[in-house]
Structure 1
């Protein structure tokens, strides 16, 4: 009888210890998610080669950042750190793929202009709008980005010339609140031009695949923000369900879509197993 009581006491004692350990672990994980990982930016490097990529651009470096969600949970000081990291990558071209401000916990502010203006790239700075930008005030966000030195593409394109060759940077309108029109955006683009497409929502790739687009850069998903080991993301937003994170290729085509995990957060200031990201693309000409 005493042995059984001792065993029961030991079981209860061990169970209580395990419960306390789980609570402590959950608390530590929460602190890490709020104050640690969401500011621990990963520099992700991607090397791609294309037959259509002009040889005079070989070795060109594109740096993408996305979804800063500036507001209550992401400060201007943090944005300064992002700008410094982007510049350290020595970009030839900088792309921002939307959601500069957070529509729930932020507002459009000119205070970001002198910070974003520090970004420098020989071949230019390009941007598209995200769904949060559209909810706040699309015209104001465009004005802020343009005054920061970005070319904002809304169903439009720009040629980049190096030597006797060129490539095209194309941007489409936001999918939830805008009117994306890829045929209009591609108007004037040559059939042999290499096309870099900026589209906030990654699932637009299903549309882009049918057009002469080579590489699509997107954001929007935040990679899910909270990723449980052996399970995956707790929540992924609409229009990022198919291509939520990283690089995707398509059978029978050189077309790729890359979904950046973003910088900031939305709804909750938490990232777990899903670090914020700056992506560095090194592009080469594929040998025939």
Structure 2
């Protein structure tokens, strides 16, 4: 009996040490996608960051900044929840980190549920969101709040949109009320109307959607996006081989998309495991990550 107790103690200790390690380190995860240009454009590289939640890797987040710089990206995309919602005191680390990104590459940023709640609930958070946004915009970051913009990337036209959905779509509920569509719940179903929906092969732009809530990944793909980038689920907290993440912040068990690259029709869906933690500050077999996406010519 004593042997069993000792073995369980050391197993629990190893698990705790692993969780501590994973909460304080990150990896660079690389994915290739088809840029759809069929030889008419150049390859491109995007760094995708999400869910930092004020985490710091080294003094002033220098380790994280160095990892981004070393990739020499053409573009940096941010998927939201870089801070922890507050009246402002918990946004300083995130703001300082974000302000340094435009010196590396152009930055386009969408909001997550933490920024969205600060934005929706001024009576609780005051002008904290507006102050945070101003710092980012003054640093040269393009904020995408239910809007899309067009730019050149690798010689091809690319449209990038940032989707915002009300914080009610992030509520913790058991069982979780999963809205199958936005049609009757919010106006964000109109987001596709901001995109040129022609296929790339017919002269349309390559379409990228930043959408924080990964539980609707298939909805976004079905809108006709070429690349859907999500976060929020923190990799599912604990990842199991062949299964993936086990739980979402909404307490949904075994979410289909939680930290991987998937294909749905003509769309690539990439969900970041995020860089920090908040609601469930645990990671097990679920390293935080910087996501690097390379757009390649179709072979």
In structure 2, distance between residues paired with 1:187 and 1:194: 13
1:226-237 alignment, distance < 5 Å: 226-227=238-239, 233-237=245-249
Which residue number in structure 2 is paired with residue 85 of structure 1? 67
Identify the match of residue 147 of structure 1 among 110, 132, 138: 138
In structure 2, distance between residues paired with 1:30 and 1:164: 48
Which residue number in structure 2 is paired with residue 10 of structure 1? none
After superposing on structure 2, the runs of 4+ consecutive aligned residues of structure 1 that deviate more than 6 Å are none
In structure 1, distance between residues paired with 2:284 and 2:154: 45
Where structure 2 has 5 or more consecutive residues not aligned to the other structure, the ranges are: 120-128, 170-185, 199-203
Residue 68 (1) aligns with residue 52 (2): yes
Which string of whole-angstrom CA distances, capped at 9 and with x for unpartnered residues, describes residues 178-198 of structure 1? 856253464263621110111
Residue 26 (1) aligns with residue 40 (2): no
Where structure 1 has 5 or more consecutive residues not aligned to the other structure, the ranges are: 1-14
Residue 219 (1) aligns with residue 204 (2): no
* Per-residue deviation, 1:212: 2.8
How does the TM-score come out when normalised to structure 1?
0.80
Which string of whole-angstrom CA distances, capped at 9 and with x for unpartnered residues, describes residues 30-89 of structure 1? 13312x111221111101114357833x2100011110011xx65783633222211111
Is this contact kept in 2: 1:172–1:185, CA < 8 A? no
Residue 278 (1) aligns with residue 260 (2): no
Residue 116 (1) aligns with residue 107 (2): no
- Seen in structure 2, the aligned counterparts of structure 1 residues 86 and 92 have a Cα distance that, compared at 3 Å, is same
How does the TM-score come out when normalised to structure 2?
0.77
3-state SS of paired residue (1:118): helix
- Seen in structure 2, the aligned counterparts of structure 1 residues 86 and 177 have a Cα distance that, compared at 3 Å, is farther
More moved, 212-221 vs 118-127: 118-127
* Per-residue deviation, 1:216: 0.5
* RMSD of equivalent CA atoms: 3.1
Residue 241 (1) aligns with residue 226 (2): no
In structure 2, distance between residues paired with 1:159 and 1:121: 21
3-state SS of paired residue (1:209): helix
1:130-279 alignment, distance < 5 Å: 130-137=112-119, 138-161=129-152, 165-177=156-168, 179=186, 181-184=188-191, 186-187=193-194, 189=196, 191=198, 192-227=204-239, 233-238=245-250, 241-250=255-264, 253-279=265-291
In structure 1, distance between residues paired with 2:191 and 2:245: 35
In structure 1, distance between residues paired with 2:267 and 2:10: 46
Structure exhibiting the larger radius of gyration computed from Cα positions = 1
3-state SS of paired residue (1:267): coil
Q: How many residues align?
A: 267
* Per-residue deviation, 1:143: 2.6
- Seen in structure 2, the aligned counterparts of structure 1 residues 132 and 255 have a Cα distance that, compared at 3 Å, is same
In structure 1, distance between residues paired with 2:156 and 2:260: 29
